[in-house]
Chain A
Amino acid sequence: MTELELPPIDYAAIAPILIMLSAAVVGVLVEAFVPRRLRHPVQLPLALLAVLAALTMVVVNADKRVITIGVIAVDGPTLFLQGAILALSAVALLLLGERVVERGGAFVAQAAVTADSPEDRRQAENAGGAGEVYPLTTFAIGGMLIFVSANDLLTMFIALEVFSLPLYLLCALARRRRLLSQEAAMKYFLLGAYASAFFLFGLALIYGFTAGLGDRVAGVDFATVNAAVANSTASPVLLFAGMALVAIGLLFKAAAAPFHVWTPDVYQGAPTPLTGFMAACTKVAAFGALLRVFHVAFEGARWDFTPVLGAVAVLTMLVGALFAVTQTDIKRLLAYSSIANAGYLLVGVLAPGSGGLSGTMFYLVAYGFTVLAAFAVVTLVRDADGEATHLSRWAGLGRRSPVYAAVFTFVLLAFAGIPMTSGFTSKFAVFGPALDGGQVWLVIAGVLTSMVLAFPYLRVVVLMWLSEPGDATPTVAVPGGLTSAALVIGVLATLVLGVAPDPLLDLASSAADFVR
């Protein structure tokens, strides 16, 4: 009997992933065995502790540059992006765990109750919140951590599914407007599965392409793909069709046009804290994967993919900016703003060299904190029926509650890229390297669309401050400690990264080197 030889495993390197996944499993057990009353007080600290522990491990690993088991690459970008995902998740968890603003939190206990039935309305008013939110979120975070560190396309695909499935479920759990929420979840699921199919098909084509490497075994790990791009004897049609399909799968998650169509509906329908989580963390994960795939695996085809992805970037910026102008719902407006930001991030992905890499990573962190602050404010503006997201309801908010209107104004100015906010420095960080790399057209498109985009932001600012509050203007709920903490962290990060971005920029540029 031959002895099975286990590959050597660097447990420290994958510790953050292990911690998050185990916390999720423990969370499931808690949900099964702990009395209902105690679940929330146990689950939230558990999830937060797990995130902090994982973050600690990321810091401990800071100097690690290894590929372990052949499928997980732990290097500068991985650690930076994992750190970013964990830090943003911690803030998002604070929002997800808020139970003061709305009795029982933003998530409904029994999602299976028919939406909009009298029973459903009763539970929306009175019942406690769902506890399974925490293990689902922790699973998603674990999946994202794998996603940004995956060293081959197959692992990446599995990670994609691991973090997507919990998100589909979470989308359906909104306490208010359940029908909208369930519709959003259904759409997200169908289209997500559809996009995954593209990714998988692309993966298969790439595998076929690597078979053309004479002396090496075919495979979908990035080193092999990289070698195949240079030397494969197989038809390049396989490579380019495969590369396109893989890119589409990733661009779907990144919400780039024309694969963005799900974004507004899902952002609007999902419970707002979850929308914040998706806008911040999913974006980091998706762009982390895009960076790794295009900077490591397909590096050799840079001159071929740049024009196509550049066109996608320009289209994304245009779609995001133009559609944002006529939105009448604040969550949809933020969704289109998130689409436009995906376009700016793509500019960073396409900037060659480590400048583009570090700029993109910086942008992801800066944008994540700002967008979390934005959605935190959205959770607070509400009336008896839940959040008041229609823009007309925000008229005169500046009179009713100047503090939150001021915070939201600051956040919008940051989105618009006004200096002294992280929105300015981060745009600078991606446009600069893109110019250095000769991608002038992308930068011009970026500057022009961000001018168009300033218009809808400004409209909200004008609406809040210069309109008279009407009878319909809702009051702003007094936030609980958790939301306040999330809000303060988001706003402070936006300010600090705008005034003194250097430490993080240094960190990003020292981390900007992939292990191959």
Chain B
Amino acid sequence: MSRSDRTLRGAAAVVGVADDASPTGELDRTGRALEVAMVLAALDDAGLTLDDVDGVCHAESSMALAEYLGVHPRYTDSTMTGGSSYQVHLEHAAAAIAAGLCQVVVSVYASTPRSDRTHKRKRERRYPPGPNPLAEWEWPFGLRTPMGPYALAAARHMHEFGTTSAQLAQIAVSTREWAALNPRARHQAPLSVDEVLASPLQVSPLHLLDCCLVTDGAGAFVMTSAERARSLRRPPVYVLGAATCHDHMIISQMPDLTTTPGAVSGANAFGMAGIAPSEVDVLMGYDSFTITALLHLEDLGFCAKGEGGPFAEDGKLGPGGALPMNTNGGGLSFTHPGMYGMFLITEAVRQLRGECGARQVPDAQVAVAHGSGMVLSCMSTAVLGTEAVL
């Protein structure tokens, strides 16, 4: 990609973030109340108010959210791509701001599956309207979601490249080392490869500790133009590159189980940013399962295809390692309310603002927030950076 294709580079910035999660896995608030708390906290972080908002993103209904908030946005985005929805919201918002469609965009997410279970609150399960290929071509065979599709991808990766369960387990171990530095993480106790391998098989080859958590969680981010960002409360975190790709909805339609559409979104986002993977200080790569994170390492170009296992095996993804990944403890050990992509953004932004305390990566200037939605279906990559790399 040539420099002239860097259409969004530096045009917009994330100027406010908020998120909430607890070691108990449960939060007191739920639903819209939790969303409003996040929106207001993210705006306050930026030094803005609800009156400034003229763009609203929500993965179910930006219209319903805006009505509840009492704002009248001129930019609206209800894109729903599963866990990568928030990377897509960020990408779209950067484009909208760059094009002058709006000035201040907020995206918010809240989900409380764990306390819903505790309090026996009803949760609606919604599926896309229209024909449902999942029901016709996969559910009859007892495919358990979400782990079933990922287990198939892991099995194929092992077959093609000799990837081992111990290599996958090391990703969970390195991620837990980060979680130990995050007082809000659900699981903070040390974890060993042997413990991961001894945890019950769910869908082979994935063990329980290869799988993400089920916790309450919520978050929001606020974006505006680079120009306006410089006058706000926090150091701007610039969008250097952003790109999305999806190549299937259900796993049996995925062209190649060992290569995700992140190979496309990653290359395009890095190209737009003019940044190489070797220049990334913090990688926030959606870890719904250990295999998910491994595939990101390969598809984003941190290592060659098939080499994710050996790459992760030496622990370089943990604290003090060569490639700090999922520094908040990830979906594996921090929080995973269902669509975790929001937390990739809030953590990346805080790392670039130097606010992460014990888990702060020294001199972090470039961070990647790489979302994965549905069943390795929709990948969306955001390359973020400080003023120093703009």
Please say whether chains A and B are actual partners in one complex: no
